[in-house]
Amino acid sequence: MLSNTTKKYSKLLKTNSLFPALLALCTLFFLSCNKEKTTKYTLDGIAQGSYYHIVYLANEGQNRGVKEEITTLLTQIDNSLSLWKEGSLINKINQNQDPILDSLFIDCLNWSQKISHLTGGYLDCTIGLLVEKHGFAAKKQEPLNQEIIDSLLQYVGYKTISIEDGKLRKTYPQTKIDLNAIAQGYTTDKVSWLLKSKGITNFIVDIGGEVRASGTKEKGESWLCGIEQPAQNSLSERSYKTFLKLKDEAIVTSGSYRKYYQDSLGNRYSHAIDPFTGKSVRHNLLSVSVVDSSATLCDGLATALLVMGLDSSKTFLSAHPNLKAHFIYFEDNQYKTFTTPNLKLQETSE
């Protein structure tokens, strides 16, 4: 039989409003004491002909197998989308071998087609033959005149391809596919999704300059990404004076000042090919940076806007006020910038 004192104590535990709170605090304290320690991890390597740099915060359990899974994913993407890898799926398609498409190719192509539709065709993955002839693929640059360019343009047009029964159908067998305009952004997204699937929510992924960040750094600070200043040439040292705090966003910059070829007269020809003229763009717009939650979308839009030029890009952005972009162009013998009002950047002195 319970004593009167015991009964009173038992009744107090049941009725005292502090008891549930104290129990919860004890539970949280117990869990926090047993929670695995979070560590900063860094992965660096080579992918898609460029570098990758990945930083993330994870406990031991979350980190288990991450490096191996990322390496496997990068290899799978190369095997599917890389024009530089002999025997890749995209090379088989361009050689009209009619292979069955994998999920990576289908997903990336669908993204490309959506961005093509959004931009009115300024991004077009069917310019592969033009890219080759201009010397921006695995083949050497060939002499081009208007007659040759016109003969190649008939095979360009994102509406001339489709997916049917798991295979790519082309109106013209001569059409060649080039997904390089979004492949690195797409890879950045895929690596980000892999990290999130492991429960890792604080990270920054950089695949060849296509960057996506989630959460924060160790002390709650924002991830910081620099926007490269236009360079004198492809060998110039990289410099930055404009920065962006990233949280759950991606940023991709497309520029015309590093990837180019130069003719015997010293004229430069940008890697950005206009799918309407078939020619390398030669306007005063030097770089475009686009910010969005998707690195794939950023990558495709940055390329499309670079091809459009500044004035057409402003018109496009006015019709899509949710998009964020930063432009660097050369006018009146000086560098100038234009930034959409919804994008907040940090500037440092030279």
pLDDT of amino acid 23: 46
Split at pLDDT 50, 70, 90, the class of 22 is: very low
- 6-22 mean pLDDT: 45
Q: Provide DSSP, 83-114.
A: TTSTT-HHHHHHTT--PPPPHHHHHHHHHHHH
List, for residues 127-186, the tens digit of each pLDDT value. Answer: 999 999 887 765 566 678 899 999 999 999 999 999 999 999 999 999 999 999 999 999
Instruction: Considering only residues 267 and 250, tell me which one the structure prediction assigns the higher pLDDT.
Output: 250
The answer to whether 154 touches 297, Cβ cutoff 8 Å, is no
Collapsed DSSP state (helix, strand, coil) of residue 22: helix
Domain ranges in the chain?
A: 219-347
| Sign of the C-alpha dihedral computed for residues 276, 280, 281 and 287 taken in this order | positive
Q: Which of 142, 121, 118 is nearest to 130 (CA)?
A: 142
- 342-346 mean pLDDT: 93
Partnered with residue 16 across adjacent β-strands are none
Collapsed DSSP state (helix, strand, coil) of residue 201: coil
Split at pLDDT 50, 70, 90, the class of 48 is: confident
Check whether 35 has a pLDDT greater than 80: no
Partnered with residue 173 across adjacent β-strands are none
Instruction: Considering only residues 29 and 71, tell me which one the structure prediction assigns the higher pLDDT.
Output: 71
103-to-81, 100, 106, 167, 177 alpha-carbon distances in Å: 11, 10, 5, 11, 16
pLDDT of amino acid 49: 81
Check whether 11 has a pLDDT greater than 90: no
CA distance 322 to 329: 22
Split at pLDDT 50, 70, 90, the class of 30 is: very low
Class of 219-347 in CATH: alpha beta
* Sole residue written with tokens 């492991």: 198
To the nearest whole number, what is the mean pLDDT of the chain? 86
pLDDT of amino acid 269: 57
Tokens (6 digits) for 236: 């110039």
